[in-house]
Chain A
Amino acid sequence: MKKGVMRPGHVQIRVLDMDEALKHYVDLLGLIEMDRDDQGRVYLKGWTEVDKYSVVLREADRAGMDFMGFKCVSEEALDELHKGLTEFGCEVEVVPEGELKDCGRRLRFQAPSGHSFELYATKKQTGKWGLSNRNPEAWPRGLQGMKATRFDHCLLYGTDLDRTLELFRDVLGFDLAEQVLTPDGKRVAQFLTVSMKAHDVAFIDHPEPGMFHHASFFLDTWEDVLRAADLISMTDTSIDIGPTRHGLTHGKTIYFFDPSGNRTEVFCGGDYHYPDHEPVTWDAGELGKAIFYHDRQLNERFLTALT
């Protein structure tokens, strides 16, 4: 049941060197720099996004994800969610308005998976980049690299998938869209959605809490994914795997790394989900095919290179 959480709103990623990172996220991926703050953080977004930014880069001495934020429908919904989180047993920190530029108060909490998440309802809207909201053209000129359209989801590795599912389903109103089950019924992967997308956030069972696998960005077509692959080779960017297709969600995808070792995905297509849909289940014995539908083989790096 919906609880007023609307969509993935932002992700803050730690990078070892900001200048190198901007070559990746702006020149190659095609995000647009929207702002910077006095902590040195850089605010970026994909061109179709209406809110001012969706990716925040922070220079730090270790790579990984600081937090992922979800935008909610209203400040009132946020108050209700605050109660729900507290009842569930989460410690909620209220991050004051303006800590991230042009963003309202944020409720920060840790999921049993070990990751920090945030809920917020207010962020400045600058509209789609380079387009008017009135009689808009098809796309703006002047986009760079892969021309990523939007921040789409994160895949996170961590602990206690069951309790994490309870939190996201019962408190935040997500649905379980897809899962991977072992023969004895243990869920080792869960893809959760709060929209019609096959996933807005996904978790894979891992002994160490709070690990970051990738942030993903949406492209329109398979041709765009192939073009992204060309750009990865042209720039000698560290490749992980692809272009290929996932069994899970059936998205068409390519994975590569930013210069600090954080994984980036660009993808197109994928299944859709309505609240009355049963979860799609993959058997762990078919995991190779579930992850890489064409290779049908697990790639050790994909499972263990995390930040």
Chain B
Amino acid sequence: MHNNNEARPDSEVQTVHHIALNEEVESFKASPDISVLVAMERAGQRLIPVGCRGGGCGKCRIRIVQGEYFSKRMSRAWISPEQEAEGTVLACRVFARSDLVIEPDPPEIGTSCHAADQSGQ
């Protein structure tokens, strides 16, 4: 017997990690199967800027100061191999493997939309 209700076991026990921002008291919880960025969004926090959530736009760049993590492929436009080795990552492509201490490191993205300036937004 198989119905769709059984497709998602809801009682899986998972270790939840704490992600804390350097020099601030705020922190949020992240289970290992969702990215640090999405975990932050689900916790209703705004410590890291959110863009594409796919490792392409660079907006969510952070430095991992402390802790273990797993990362998926990230666009080389924003993370060089050296940066990657030093723990600079895109939060939407990393998954916590322990508690983490992080620091936002958003790249300069020129928002020329001069138009945006003009409209006073």
Contacts and interface: CB of A to CB of B under 8 A. Distances in A.
Interface of A: 16-17, 61-64, 180, 182-183, 186, 188-189, 204-208, 238, 240, 257-263, 284-288, 297-298, 300-301, 303-307
B72 A17 contact: yes
B30 to A, nearest CB: 16
A182 B118 contact: yes
B53 to A, nearest CB: 4
Contact of A182 (B72, B77, B92, B114): B114
Interface in B11-27: none
A16 B120 CA distance: 36
Contact of B53 (A16, A206, A238): A238
Interface in B85-121: 92, 109-116, 118-121
Given A261-B51, A303-B113, A17 B119 contact: no
B55 A260 contact: yes
A304 B109 contact: yes
A205 B119 contact: no
Interface residues of B, number: 28
A189 B111 CA distance: 13
A263 B121 contact: no
Interface of B: 50-57, 59, 72-77, 92, 109-116, 118-121
B72 A260 contact: no
Given A189-B115, A261-B51, A298-B119, 19 more contacts: A16-B54, A62-B56, A62-B77, A63-B54, A63-B57, A63-B77, A186-B114, A205-B112, A206-B110, A206-B113, A260-B75, A261-B56, A261-B92, A285-B119, A287-B113, A297-B121, A298-B116, A301-B59, A306-B109
B73 to A, nearest CB: 4
Contacts of B75: 16, 61-64, 260-261, 307
Contact of A261 (B57, B76, B116, B119): B57
A287 B59 contact: no
A263 B119 CA distance: 24
B8 to A, nearest CB: 12
B82 to A, nearest CB: 14
B59 A205 contact: no
Q: Which 5 A-B pairs have the closest CB atoms?
A: A261-B56, A261-B52, A63-B56, A261-B54, A305-B51
A186 to B, nearest CB: 7
B119 A307 contact: no
B114 A188 contact: yes
B51 to A, nearest CB: 4
A61 B118 contact: no
B73 A64 contact: no
B54 A303 contact: no
A300 B76 CA distance: 23
B94 to A, nearest CB: 14
Contacts of A204: 113, 115
A186 B114 CA distance: 9
Contacts of A298: 113, 116, 119, 121
A263 to B, nearest CB: 7
B61 to A, nearest CB: 12
Given A63-B54, A63-B75, A305-B59, A284 B110 contact: no
Contact of A287 (B51, B76, B115): B115
Contact of B116 (A240, A260, A303, A306): A303
Contacts of A297: 121
A304 B51 contact: yes
Contacts of B119: 284-288, 298
16 contacts: A16-B74, A63-B75, A204-B113, A205-B114, A238-B54, A257-B52, A257-B54, A260-B75, A262-B52, A285-B119, A287-B113, A287-B115, A288-B121, A303-B111, A304-B57, A305-B52
